[in-house]
Every structure is written in C-alpha cells, then in structure tokens.
Amino acid sequence: MKKFKIAFVSSEVVPFAKTGGLADVAGALPKALSELGHDVLVIMPKYGVISEDKYRLNKVIERIDVQLGDWPMEGSVYEGRFPGTEIPVYFIDNKDFFNRQELYQVHGKDYEDNLERFTFFSKAVLETLKKLDTKPDIIHCNDWQTGLVPTYLKTIYSNDPFLQDVKTVFTIHNIGYQGLFPKEKFHITGLGWDQFHYERLEFHGKLSLIKGGLVYSDVITTVSKTYSREIQTEEYGHGLDGLLRHRNEDLYGVVNGIDYNVWNPMIDEHIPAKYGPDNLSGKGRCKKTLQRESGLAVKDVPLIGMITRLASQKGLDLVQEIMKDLVSMDVQFIILGTGEPVYHEFFKKTAGEYPKKISVTIGFDNALAHKIEAGSDIFLMPSKYEPCGLNQLYSLKYGTIPLVRKTGGLADTIVNYTPSNLKAGKANGFVFKEYSSKALLDTIKDTARLYPRNNLWHKLMLNGMKQDFSWHHSALEYEKLYRKAISCQ
C-alpha cells in the first residue's frame, strides 16, 4: 500500500498549546498516521506559551518572507519533535503575531489582528514547505485558522511548480467558529477581489476564512458521522449548510479517537489511585480524594462531573435552569471550565451557597481534568451541538458514565441505558434527546435512581471501559480519504 507524505497544519497541538479538542486531535492523529507508516510532519504557530528549552526547539529556517497585503513581513521556523517520537513539528515564528500567552483572545475578546496572524501563518506554511524542500502529497488543514491554505494553493500559488498536485483535506472541528472579518480587511489576504464572492470567501458581506477551506479543499471532513449530516441542515449549519450540501459528495465524518497513553486510568500520573476494568477499587479512592480536595462532603452519593469551555454551545443554560433542583437532590456536582463571564459568575455564586454539594473551578487545569474524569460517577454533556466531543470518550475509559444529549459525536458514541441494551452489552451511558431543562433533569433523576443498584452500574461502567476508541481505527479512515483526495483532478 502506498504511503503518503502528510503535512498536518493546526493552530493548536497537544502538548505544545491547547484551548480545546482540536489540540487533542492534532496531538494524536499525526502519531497514529505515522504508526501506519506514513511520513508525517506537523506545522503550528510558535506561541509565547511554548517553551524552547522544554521541547528543545532549534531554528531551522532563519527567514521566510510573507506578503500581507502591501506589507512585506518576515518570520522564521523552529523545529522540534513530538515527545517520545521522531515526528517533526515546525513552529512558525513571528514575535509580533505569536509571542503571546493566549492563542486567540484575551479576557474573552478576540485579538484584533487575528486575520493578519492566520493569514501570515497560512502563507508561511506554504513557504516553509518550499524552504524545507518537502513536498507533501497531502496538506491536512484544520478549522478556520488554516482555511487560506487550500485557497492559496488554488489561487496565488496555483502556478508554483513546487506545489503542483499537492492535495488538501480540510477538517471542520466546529462549524460555529468561522473566522469572520470585515470586508475592509480583505486586502490583507492578497487575494483578488474575485474571491470576495458568495461562492468563494464572502459570507454576508464579510470575509470568511472557513469558507476558504470548504470551497477549495479536495476533501472535507468533520469529526463524527452525525455531525457531518447535521451541518448540512439549517439548524446546525451556522449559515454554511447550503455550501456543505453543495459539496456533499466530498464531505465525510470520521469520529475522533483518543490517546490512551494520555487518558487511561491504569497509567494516569495525575490521579491518586490507578485502576482498570479488572480492579475498580482505585476509582473509589479517586472519588474520595476529589471530594476532599474540592471541599465536597465525602460521602457515597452520585458525583456528577463536567469539564468544558463555558460556551453556550455546551448546554450550560440548561444546567443553569436545573441548578435549583439539583441542589435539592442527594447528588454532588463538580465543574471545571473557563469562558463566558456570565457562567463564571453564576457557577461561582452557586458554589458559594452550596460548598458541600457544588464545586466550581474557573480556569484551565489539565491535572484537575484528569482527577474529575477519574473521581466522578457521571459525566455531564448536555450540548446544544457537539461535533465529536472527547470528554465522553475519556469518561468511558475512566468508568465514569456519560450523560449526554443525542447530538453529533455524542449520538455516535453513547448508547442509552435500557435493560435490553444493557443485556446486549451495548449500553454505555444515558442519553436524552430534546434540548430542554426538563429532559435533562428527568434523565439526571432516572440516573441517580439507578446509582445504588451496584450490579447494574458496574455493568454499565465495564461496557464503556472495555470499548476501544483508539486513533488507529480513525487513522485508517483518514488514510482512505487521503487516497481519495490524491485521486481528485
């Protein structure tokens, strides 16, 4: 079987920089592809949070030149490796644009020069490949930050002899984030005005970077089969459903895998006791420690966990609406998240009133995320939409039963508990359909009633813990799609 040279381009990559699931994917899929024998390299920006010493980065390109509209700009490129592998990671450096602690925004407000930053990045990706003299078969782009890469290949760089026949795959991790900028800034892209057209990069009078990826890539993917169908509907398409229906034949859903070297209670260094399906006792210790450390009462009641960006997409308005009922029940709730200030205030206030029942941590804390996965009994994801969702997959591995709304990747991975689904060995969680606080509360109540039934609960836990959502399967699907992209004219 022919092996490919793949340049994987992402604005965030674990372990170097992360704000959400994209970074997890970008940190794991390249490794899985490399394990299949493909020749993979990764390109990302060199943010201020990335330590040169820790990752032993070397400058490999002293200077690349990138034109931003009328302004000639320059940058340089550093090389590192994914820890424990030989897979090269190239970091595009431009101090003005990337030497910042946050990736896209501060205090909930997007940086004003995000267009300049990611235009620079996208052009620099192509210039870097040329300088490295590395011609990939495929450039795999991700989300709006990289939407100009396929665009440039089919426009400004279309006659570049070095980049001839390079194919692109564009993955949508969340269609709600589109990279929209005012028309007045369009010139920064350096594209001709013919591109500012509704069939190309224009979106209701604005410049849309995600459209560059959707219009010009050879194959489009998104991160679950259900989401690939949902985004072709008005309800979920965020205005791009028409374009996606138009490109329906090139649009595929591939569910994300998870990295069991990172998310695995048998080897997890962040949790107080290790455990696995053959020995569950450590999970009890993880729960007690979590309760103690987070100020909750140490007792045997269902502990419901949540780790999330505090964004309305995640169904937090429903959680807000049921909070009064939740605190009157014999359950506990622990949430870790950061995002919209209205949720910060609400959850902080509630935790202040019920410190033994509700624990709230506002911030981004990877170690605590692992502790919550291990210590909770139930993991809550009542999302309005969820392209794939990773936490429900982590939860399965940690024997923490997901309680989810039936949408996107949640619908594809979580099978609702019913006695017959359990008997068939399929049930691995609790699922509700309607986006309403009543449906959520009813499901939590049903779940809490089942919690004392040890045998049943254990069976559900074990069903999930034994499932395999490793990247290997998904990498094989991407391999097929790369082949398809390469056969595109």
The Cα–Cα gap between 202 and 211 comes to 8
**CB of 145 or CB of 195, closer to ligand ADP:** 145
Q: Which of 253, 257, 337, 464 binds ligand ADP (CB under 6 A)?
A: 337
What kind and span of H or E run contains 318?
helix 316-328
Could you tell me the sign of the dihedral formed by the alpha carbons of 98, 100, 102, 108, in that order? negative
| Other C-beta atoms lying within 10 Å of the C-beta of residue 317 | 15
Q: Least separation, in Å, of the C-beta of 313 and ligand ADP?
A: 7
User: What residues between 204 and 223 interact with ligand ADP by CB under 6 A?
Assistant: none
Nearest partner of 140 among 242, 227, 38, 18, judged by Cα: 38
Asked if 242 and 253 touch (Cβ cutoff 8 Å), the reply is: no
Order of all β-strands in the sheet with 180-182 = 180-182, 206-208, 202-203
The Cα–Cα gap between 79 and 96 comes to 19
**CB of 250 or CB of 259, closer to ligand ADP:** 259
**CB of 181 or CB of 385, closer to ligand ADP:** 385
Q: Least separation, in Å, of the C-beta of 311 and ligand ADP?
A: 8
**CB of 17 or CB of 390, closer to ligand ADP:** 390
Asked whether position 336 contacts ligand ADP by CB under 6 A, the answer is: yes
User: What residues between 387 and 406 interact with ligand ADP by CB under 6 A?
Assistant: 388-391
Asked if 474 and 29 touch (Cβ cutoff 8 Å), the reply is: yes
Q: Least separation, in Å, of the C-beta of 170 and ligand ADP?
A: 17
**CB of 336 or CB of 401, closer to ligand ADP:** 336
* Cα distances (Å, whole numbers) of residue 63 to 90, 119, 374, 420, 436: 14, 17, 46, 63, 54
User: What residues between 239 and 268 interact with ligand ADP by CB under 6 A?
Assistant: none
Asked whether position 230 contacts ligand ADP by CB under 6 A, the answer is: no
**CB of 185 or CB of 309, closer to ligand ADP:** 309
User: What residues between 271 and 310 interact with ligand ADP by CB under 6 A?
Assistant: 307-309
Q: Residue 466: CA atoms inside 13 Å, Cβ hemisphere, count?
A: 13
373's tokens: 């996965």
Q: Least separation, in Å, of the C-beta of 256 and ligand ADP?
A: 7
Q: Least separation, in Å, of the C-beta of 75 and ligand ADP?
A: 27
Q: Which of 364, 445, 477, 484 binds ligand ADP (CB under 6 A)?
A: 364
Q: Least separation, in Å, of the C-beta of 24 and ligand ADP?
A: 5
What does 334-390 look like in DSSP terms, one character per residue?
EEEEEE-HHHHHHHHHHHHH-TTTEEEEES--HHHHHHHHHH-SEEEE--S--SS-S
Q: Which of 365, 459, 467, 486 binds ligand ADP (CB under 6 A)?
A: 365
Asked whether position 366 contacts ligand ADP by CB under 6 A, the answer is: yes
Helices and strands in the chain, H and E counts: 17, 20
- Count of residues in the chain: 489
**CB of 369 or CB of 414, closer to ligand ADP:** 369
Q: Least separation, in Å, of the C-beta of 370 and ligand ADP?
A: 9
Count interface residues toward ligand ADP (CB under 6 A): 18
User: What residues between 19 and 58 interact with ligand ADP by CB under 6 A?
Assistant: 20-21, 24
The Cα–Cα gap between 140 and 42 comes to 9
User: What residues between 144 and 183 interact with ligand ADP by CB under 6 A?
Assistant: 174
In the chain, the amino acid numbered 314 is: K
Nearest partner of 461 among 275, 206, 271, 209, judged by Cα: 275
The Cα–Cα gap between 442 and 449 comes to 11
Q: Least separation, in Å, of the C-beta of 404 and ligand ADP?
A: 11
Whose CB is nearest to ligand ADP? Answer: 21
**CB of 174 or CB of 332, closer to ligand ADP:** 174
What does 266-297 look like in DSSP terms, one character per residue?
TT-TTSSS--BTTB-HHHHHHHHHHHHHTT--
The Cα–Cα gap between 197 and 157 comes to 19
Q: Least separation, in Å, of the C-beta of 387 and ligand ADP?
A: 7
Mark residues 403-442: x for contact with ligand ADP by CB under 6 A, - for none: ----------------------------------------
**CB of 383 or CB of 447, closer to ligand ADP:** 383
Residues that bind ligand ADP (CB under 6 A): 20-21, 24, 174, 307-309, 336-338, 364-366, 369, 388-391
